[in-house]
Amino acid sequence: MFQIKHRCLFLLPVFICLGSHALSQALSMKKEYAATLLQLSGTLLALQTDEKEPANCGALVCKSCHVLHTRAAEAVYPFAVSYMITGEQRYLKAARNAASWLISQQQPDGSWKETPEEWTGTTTDQLLMLLLAYDAISGELTEHEKTSWNTAMVKAADYLYKVMKPEFASINYVATTTVTLAKAHRLTGTERYLTRARELARRTVSKMDEKGFINGEGGRGVGAKLGIDLGYEMEMSLWGLGLYAKTTGDTLVSNRVRDALKTHLSFIYPDGSMDNSWGIRSNKWTMYGGATSDGCQALFALYADEDQRYASASYKNLLFLRSNILPGGLVGYGPHHARVFETQPCIYPTFTKAKNLAMAYQFEKKDVRPYQPLPTEQWGWIRHFDNLDVVQVRTKNFMATVTGYRYKDQKAGSKSKYMFRPNGGTLSYLWVEGHGALQVSSVTEYSRPEPMSFPEAPGVKCLSPQIAYRDSLGYFTNLFESDARLATATLDNGSFRVQAHGELKNRDWINGGVAYALTYTFADDFVEKKVVLTYHDAFPTVVITEPFVMQPGMKVSLINDRIVTLQGGKKHFVFTTMEGDARIITGRDADHYWTPYPAIRAFPVEIEIAPPKKGFTQTVTYRIALK
């Protein structure tokens, strides 16, 4: 399934400075959106079937899944906008063929299945792209095509009117449907569409907490879903609500989106990567966004006039996305896709990001915008999102996310795909100035809840730093601790402290008999961790695992029983145990430390801690420092 390969680097514009330094020129946003949109549209066009296959003419072939994904026909809108940009007839033909094939796949009730699945909630995505494409190219369609498009769009709108609500779907579908029905109202004049759009918009914003995060992406409770996912909010829900609000003039919803966006901006890291390391759907986190969600450029472009930093965030994330485009033009699953996979990725990330960029191109009102540094480019701060139990820290050289997000899928328990995200106060993302990602998180146990979205990855190991042990009763780790207590402090010397307390638990959230206190110290040149273990009902050997992202050229070396060096990348690091009776192990099962989402290869450094010979506690302190 995987092998090591050389990675082709995507060249950034020459006016970009390394690290988080400000850009020295203004941003040509429409030009930048168009450039990547046309690149992705060209890739998709090459995958589209033609008249030689009449039954499937217009469908897009996925060479990874060997399926004609009906959602891929959402490329009708990227094709339409590409035609508007270039005037090239091939894009117009591609849009018309994609629409024709999609219409042929419509179910009698007006829905579209998300082939090969039976799920029909994506009807809102498919209909919205048809509506937007119709606005763009209806003047180029024949009367027969116009009739066919309009009949299909009305049938789909009627279906959404009947079924779409939080009890039916995850909240991103509900949010998208607000603008889908609003656009359907503008096309048809059908008042019930507008009424339902407003109802759904109000229900959606009612699920926002005080910081603007939306509950509704996880497992279902007694009715609607709960749980917050940063990625789906930035790449789906918020732009859906925002475009609805701008379409209808709903100032209440627009104001709620504005307030939410101010908070969400903090999750764009200095290099443009999106921090969804902690969200409940982080099992699809690619670092540039999500594998099957659309993208953040549409959202930032929609509100670009209100804060200059939005264009900067959009642009930096676009650069990060570009670095994940593989030879051949498809978007991969993460920075190391070509190093861990022999096969090409599914086309989902490519067409979803293309439609996002098509919207961003259309929403952007100005050709040029000034660069304004991101909040995360400023250093010397700590922020505790106490509504989430998520902490962000930024020092001169490090940025980190520590997660203790407390959401529980109480109904599904360990059967839930949302309960294997990192937790328990782990460091879910560690980024270094001038280097990039040093540590990232992945699911605690890999599974394939959606077989077509999750590739086969036998034997992969979790990349999240963790404290764990395994005995006859099972596997216990802080990553399964959803009740950890987090606290933060700014120290007199300007460094920052984050503390997490909890129990090592199994996948059913049952205590194993060992408690932990984890204290981080974040300084300009190092990150220190102090782990205090309390053995109260069990006395196992505990292992702390610290996987490090293997950037190109990096090498990990065990120097002695307390020191490990990480050299050969853009920065050099020293890993040192400073306190405690423990044994360092490097590279155990190293070949298994990779993951599909995000597509990353890592290398493990472990600290093995024997149970206490006297008393009931063990303490280990270690440091990751710039050399």
3-state secondary structure 378-396: CCCEEEEECCCCEEEEECC
The pLDDT of residue 179 is 98
Phi/psi of residue 392, each to 5°?
A: -115, 140
Q: Write down the pTM of the prediction.
A: 0.94
3-state secondary structure of 617: strand
The pLDDT of residue 224 is 84
The pLDDT of residue 570 is 87
The pLDDT of residue 24 is 59
Averaged pLDDT for residues 299-326: 98
First to last CA, the chain: 35
How far is CA 496 from each of CA 267, 293, 383, rounded to the nearest angstrom? 19, 34, 10
Q: For residue 20, what pLDDT band results from cuts at 50, 70 and 90?
A: very low
Q: For residue 18, what pLDDT band results from cuts at 50, 70 and 90?
A: very low
Neighbour-count burial for 7-37, b at 16+ CB within 10 Å, e otherwise? eeeeeeeeeeeeebeebeeebbbbebbbebb
And the tokens for 545?
A: 């695992």
Stronger pLDDT, 569 or 218, i.e. the higher one: 218
In the predicted structure, residue 533 carries a pLDDT above the cut 70: yes
Quick one: what percent of the chain has pLDDT higher than 90?
93
In the predicted structure, residue 19 carries a pLDDT above the cut 90: no
Q: Which domains does the chain have, with CATH numbers?
A: 379-626 (2.70.98.70)
Q: What is the pLDDT of residues 71-88, one digit of tens each?
A: 999 999 999 999 999 999
What secondary structure does DSSP assign to 535-595, as a single string? Answer: ESS--PPEEEEEEEE--TT-EEEE-SSSEEEEESSSS-EEEEEEESSEEEEE-TTGGG-EE
The pLDDT of residue 251 is 97
Q: For residue 4, what pLDDT band results from cuts at 50, 70 and 90?
A: very low
Averaged pLDDT for residues 204-227: 94
DSSP state of 110: S
Q: What is the pLDDT of residues 361-397, one digit of tens each?
A: 999 999 999 999 999 999 999 999 999 999 999 999 9
Q: For residue 21, what pLDDT band results from cuts at 50, 70 and 90?
A: very low
In the predicted structure, residue 25 carries a pLDDT above the cut 90: no
Q: For residue 624, what pLDDT band results from cuts at 50, 70 and 90?
A: very high
Mention every residue, 6+ apart, whose C-beta is less than 8 A from residue 248: 182, 194, 197, 198
Q: What is the pLDDT of residues 84-140, one digit of tens each?
A: 999 999 999 999 999 999 999 999 999 999 999 999 999 999 999 999 999 999 999
In the predicted structure, residue 180 carries a pLDDT above the cut 70: yes
Q: What is the pLDDT of residues 270-312, one digit of tens each?
A: 999 999 999 999 999 999 999 999 999 999 999 999 999 999 9
Mention every residue, 6+ apart, whose C-beta is less than 8 A from residue 509: 408, 413, 414, 480, 481, 482
Averaged pLDDT for residues 19-25: 53
In the predicted structure, residue 620 carries a pLDDT above the cut 90: yes
Query: Degrees (nearest 5) of the Cα angle 522, 528, 533?
Result: 125
Chain centroid to Cα 207, Å, comes to: 21
> What value does the mean pLDDT of the chain take?
95
In the predicted structure, residue 1 carries a pLDDT above the cut 80: no
Helices 89-104 and 29-46 pack at an angle, to 10 degrees, of: 60
Q: For residue 14, what pLDDT band results from cuts at 50, 70 and 90?
A: very low
Residue 625: closest CA among 591, 575, 561, 564: 575
How far is CA 110 from each of CA 133, 158, 166, 189, 282, rounded to the nearest angstrom? 19, 7, 20, 19, 31
The pLDDT of residue 568 is 86
